[in-house]
Structure 1
Amino acid sequence: MAISSPRTLILLTFSLLLTLTLTLAEIRFAEIRSDSRPIIPFDEFGFTHTGKLDLNVTLLSLRLHQNDQTTLPTNPKPNSNDLSLVGFFLSTRDSWYHVVDQLNQNDIVCALQSDLIKPVFSFDRLNNGGLTHFNVSLQISDPNLYTLVFANCIPNLHVSMDVHSSMYNLEGKSSLIRDYLSAGKSNLPSIYFNFALIYFALILIWVYTLFSKREVIYRIHYFMLAVLVLKGLNLLCEAEDKSYIKKTGSAHGWDVLFYIFSFLKGITLFTLIVLIGTGWSFLKPFLQDKEKKVLMIVIPLQVVANVAQVVIDETGPYGGESYAWMQVFLFVDIVCCCAVLFPIVWSIRNLREAATTDGKAAVNLMKLTLFRHYYVVVICYIYFTRVIVYGLETITNYRYQWTSVVAGELGTLAFYLFTGYNFRPKSCNPYFAIDDEEEEAAAEMLKMEGDEFEL
């Protein structure tokens, strides 16, 4: 039995899924219904020398489709096929790339035949004709980062089953405490909690700053406070979310709060960058039409990105549309990051023109310098959190994957500190001074809008 080109393409696609998996492993329940995919990846997990996999499969049903006609066998094993080519196995990323090479070179006809994978259960062990369920418990003796995979190398065989998987490491002196977070991510709850404390401290500092500088406060400063609050609450909920997963394998509802605050934090952060980039509130008290269009693009895209993130996290890579949702998330995130740069570029261009035409060149040049610096910092923030952090996660040993989280949070914290410090309320700050001409232009625009409304 040779592997066809579409099947090879799916296997290669799975190789990409292995490198883009965004979910944290936990107790996972998956429903597979009439699925003929040759490869179905489940969760990825980093095992220690005390790692263990518990796999429970129920409501197992196999149906062989031939010539658009369905053959319902009297038992789970089709007589004309070898069910040793159907089953579960564990594979590391490096091993999987070699398995794909073996398949392409026709050294093997099924991933389950490779000596590079760790078999979990093959369906030829279903020797009972009426057996529709099984349980497997596997002790991991070789610590590594593994992905649980289901392989179906029988053409036209449709599989239906409920899969309950549980991967964890045993810890403690008696090795009876289960840790459902992957090795290398076990300390994420404390990391997120410590960063949440930092942001709550920044909130207190910012509130004190607003209180002590009441005479030079602009509306955008309150918006900055809202961004800080949402970021702190997002980290606190994420810390609780990971803490419950670590102990029980389930988030117990904390994931819902995490998604809510993550959604609000994402929208407010991108909106803040757009508002600062346009000079809203401290350069001009209004937004132009093109700037409003940027907001109208960024906010809906953030909604789509958060929906994609929820689908990826909750379903895991076993879902048939997981790869598509992952691509949507990455594409939308890149578009949002590019969109927020345009208002800053527009402000830099306007300030450059103003610096050479009006009589306040010195003030405009200072504003121009600030916006140039902010533009560079925004690009560095986007590049660092979207590229460098991902590269760090990819090349770092699975036992130290927490370092990419720390790096990402430190980069975000540095961006928040830079923004807050440079655009803080400050007496006699030329960046926040609205020129008389700008005030008159704003008043005239508001008056014109009011006249149009009356008409």
Structure 2
Amino acid sequence: MAKILFLTLFLLIFSLIPHSFAEIKTLKIISDNRPMILFEKFGFTHTGHVAVAVSSVSVSSNLSPPDPSRLGFFLLSEESLLQVLLEIQQNPSFCVLDSQYTTHLFTFRDLSPPPASSFNHSYPVSIPNEYSLFFANCNPESSVSMTVRTEMYNLEFNGVKDYLPAGQTQLPSLFFLFSLAYFVFLGYWVFACLKNKKSVHRIHLLMAGLLIIKALNLICAAEDKHYVKVTGSPHGWDVLFYLFQFIRVVLLFTVIVLVGTGWSFLKPFLQEKEKKVLLIVIPLQVLANVASIVIGETGPFIKDWVTWNQVFLLVDIICCCAIIFPIVWSIRSLRETSKTDGKAARNLAKLTLFRQFYIVVIGYLYFTRIVVFALKTISAYKYQWVSNAAEEIASLAFYVIMFYMFRPVERNEYFVLDEEEEEAAEMALRDEEFEL
């Protein structure tokens, strides 16, 4: 029963993995007793190949000597997942290696010549699809140690290897184009700040820094994917990518919190509760980025991979909720202030601005966390790049709207109003108070 629950949960989690981290990898398995180990998930074309090399293999068992034919590697497609689950549920002692729905590669019986413990072979993928590479151990009470080198690729028309999955081979160009868009955006922002020097505040400089980091993050992402595509290894670009991603995410959440509190352009200092939000969000983002690096660099073969995914998801949800509170506090404060300071129109305009910003932030978080995830899950493996494009389009739109709403201008439409607008605003506020 424990085996059935483990495999069922494992395969369900496997079905939710949205994309792969494909490249040439060398992994070490040490005394692992899991019945199934997931290594890679890759989208193959009709010219796909998978190469697996194992060495330093040793198997220990608490019961009878392990059967080498009950330990081996296989490929499993998304479509075959439910059938394999059904077979396991119907027969608790069923070995996945015997399933007709799996693509058999080799077992430890093929390790030759005995008693050598190494194997190296490449297999063509005849049917285009998205497959996951698994190792199965159907020997009860046994553990395996080995070094595994995996290599998955598709051949282009000129015979060159493409190490990115079929649905991600467009990503280097996609990320590069968006980096250019952000550099153009940065140029316009610098021009706007220079044109309105008297209206520039510290928050505007911080926003400029956010654009620089976002553009650099996309360039590193493009280079990372490019080198993986042509060589199977990121050549160090993944380190820069994770560095700028960490700075970018922390800076983005910080800017949203500071803009939401009105810091710098409405008030020079943060209140204690607003400082506490930053003290919560920033350390949590550090933890989230650590989890992201573990997820991206190790892959699903490690035992704690699912746990790190859960940590990342939980921390991201907490941070998304936390950054909403300062905006709500600003809306509440402006509503209260508008009743007492005699500047109804100005406060109503500010109130309208922060309400709009609140809606924009909620929409951005919903789209990038829910809609993008749904696209990754439901999109055909050949179109995985669409979810990346949707996420970058949504991010660019959010940046443009936020920067436009809080741009440096001498006569801000929200903060400079005439007497007629003042009278109209007083009536609107009285009507709003009456409705409440």
Aligned residue for 1:204, secondary structure, equals helix
The 8 Å contact of residues 121 and 136 in structure 1, kept in 2 or not, is answered as no
Share of identical aligned residues, percent?
51
Give the Å deviation of 1:85.
1.9
Q: Which residue pairs with 1:118 in the alignment?
A: 103
Q: Which residue pairs with 1:331 in the alignment?
A: 314
Give the Å deviation of 1:20.
2.6
Q: Which residue pairs with 2:141 in the alignment?
A: 156
Give the Å deviation of 1:84.
2.2
Q: Which residue pairs with 2:431 in the alignment?
A: none
Give the Å deviation of 1:427.
1.1
Which amino acid letter does the alignment assign opposite residue 15 of structure 1? L
Which amino acid letter does the alignment assign opposite residue 131 of structure 1? A
Aligned residue for 1:186, secondary structure, equals coil
Q: Do residues 364 (structure 1) and 350 (structure 2) align?
A: no
Q: Which residue pairs with 1:82 in the alignment?
A: 67
Counterparts of 1:18 and 1:318, CA distance in 2: 15
Among 286, 298, 318, the residue aligned to 1:303: 286
Q: How does 1:66-215 map to 2 (within 5 A)?
A: 66=63, 79=65, 81-106=66-91, 109-126=94-111, 128-173=113-158, 176-215=159-198
Q: Which residue pairs with 1:59 in the alignment?
A: 56
Which amino acid letter does the alignment assign opposite residue 131 of structure 2? Y
Inter-CA distance 18–30: structure 2 relative to 1 (3 Å threshold): farther
Q: Which residue pairs with 1:282 in the alignment?
A: 265
Give the Å deviation of 1:21.
5.0
Aligned residue for 1:160, secondary structure, equals strand
Encode CA deviations 1:21-52: one digit per residue, 9 max, x unaligned. 55421111110001111010011000000000
Aligned residue for 2:5, secondary structure, equals helix
The 8 Å contact of residues 227 and 234 in structure 2, kept in 1 or not, is answered as yes
Give the Å deviation of 1:430.
5.9
The 8 Å contact of residues 349 and 415 in structure 2, kept in 1 or not, is answered as no
Q: Which residue pairs with 2:212 in the alignment?
A: 229
Counterparts of 1:55 and 1:385, CA distance in 2: 36
Which amino acid letter does the alignment assign opposite residue 155 of structure 1? P
What is the root-mean-square deviation of aligned Cα atoms in Å?
A: 1.5
Q: Which residue pairs with 2:12 in the alignment?
A: 15
Q: Which residue pairs with 2:250 in the alignment?
A: 267
Give the Å deviation of 1:104.
0.5
Counterparts of 2:252 and 2:7, CA distance in 1: 37
Encode CA deviations 1:354-379: one digit per residue, 9 max, x unaligned. 12222001110110011001001100
Structure-2-length-normalised TM-score: 0.93
Aligned residue for 1:184, secondary structure, equals coil
Q: Do residues 318 (structure 1) and 301 (structure 2) align?
A: yes
Counterparts of 1:105 and 1:169, CA distance in 2: 36
Counterparts of 1:23 and 1:431, CA distance in 2: 46
Aligned residue for 1:356, secondary structure, equals coil
Give the Å deviation of 1:7.
4.5
Structure 2 alignment gaps of length 5 or more: 417-436
Equivalenced residue count is 416
Aligned residue for 2:62, secondary structure, equals strand
The 8 Å contact of residues 60 and 132 in structure 1, kept in 2 or not, is answered as yes
Inter-CA distance 350–63: structure 2 relative to 1 (3 Å threshold): same
Encode CA deviations 1:272-322: one digit per residue, 9 max, x unaligned. 000011110111111000000000000000100110011111110000110
Structure-1-length-normalised TM-score: 0.89
Q: Which residue pairs with 1:38 in the alignment?
A: 35
Structure 1 alignment gaps of length 5 or more: 67-77, 434-455
Aligned residue for 1:155, secondary structure, equals coil
